[in-house]
Structure 1
Amino acid sequence: MRSTYPAAVYLCLRDGDDILLLRRAGTGYRDGELAVPAGHIEVGESATQALLRETREEILVELAPDDVRMALVQHGRADGETYIDFFFTAERGDARPAIGEPDKCSELLWARVDRLPDDVVPAVRHAIEAIGRGETYTEFGWQ
């Protein structure tokens, strides 16, 4: 039997040594914990197109394809789901992120990438740390 997995995109928006985090709220998944802007790839979208759309929707930042860099692919299992996750990086530049979906996010904050808060979603923490080590592929949650 051939497996198919949902795919998601994540943005590690950097400002020097800081990374933008958002506090999840009202989604039913890890509410109250911190993550980076993210979302599912929709039918007919490339990973880059999904990332640019999610960035616009979640943090009201317009990025161009040339603004982002694929940093890491993570094959993960968490909370009963298996995903293929694509983590991109971008520099903040002049962007002024703001909450674009107040029904899904209660707070935006900047944190030192080498001193992440304790309540970052574990799979997201794992990926951010892997990117910091220069890895381009990692696995999370497999025995």
Structure 2
Amino acid sequence: MRATYPAAVYLCLRDDRGRVLLLRRAGTGYRDGELALPAGHIEPGESATAALLRETREELGLDLPADAVRMVLVQHGIADGLAYVDFVFAAVLARGMRPRIAEPDKASELLWAPLDELPADVVPVIRNALEALARGETYTEYGWGDA
């Protein structure tokens, strides 16, 4: 049997001070109360970039143009018993853009944090990706143990 993995996209949105935008999960049933990047699943028939732009609109109320984002990291990992392939995209917040919690039933707070001083309550798999980005990596793995 061929292995298949769900795929997700993440937005590493930076401000003019180099901080990354995190949101506090709420009401989702997964890691509620912890900080994560804006993210979501890639839907059938949707490209990773299209999924990222859709999730950015849905979660932050921002309409980013496709040429404003670039894929910076792939992470293959197992988190909470589920294996995923994650695509992390980077973008810089353009002047005049104001992210907001556009899905208050799924997030309770937005927080800007320096990449090298992440809060303690960042979801571990997200922390792994952000730390890999800080090291300049473009690929990382998480949760596979010694396999």
TM-score > 0.5 by shorter chain: yes
- Which segments of 5 or more consecutive residues in structure 2 lack a partner in the other structure? none
Q: Please give the residue correspondences for 1:49-128 in structure 2 after superposition, counting only pairs within 5 Å.
A: 49-94=50-95, 95-128=97-130
1:73-126 CA-to-partner distances (Å, cap 9, x unmatched) read: 000101010000000000011220000000000000111111000000000010
Give the superposition deviation at 1:132: 1.1
Q: After TM superposition, list the pairs within 5 Å mapping 1:43-54 onto structure 2.
A: 43-54=44-55
CA distance in 2, matches of 1:130, 1:69: 16
Residues 7-57 of structure 1 show CA distances to partners (whole Å, capped at 9, x for unaligned) of 000000001320000000000000000001000000110000000000000
- Give the match for residue 8 of structure 2: 8
Give the aligned CA root-mean-square deviation in angstroms. Answer: 0.6
The one-letter code matched in structure 2 to 1:9 is V
- Would you say how many aligned residue pairs link Structure 1 and Structure 2? 143
Q: What secondary structure sits across from 2:9 in the alignment? A: strand
Which residues of structure 1 form unaligned runs of 5+?
A: none
Question: How high is the TM-score relative to the length of structure 1?
Answer: 0.98
Identity %: 71
Residues of 1 paired with 2:27 and 2:77: CA distance?
23
User: What amino acid maps onto 1:70 in structure 2?
Assistant: M
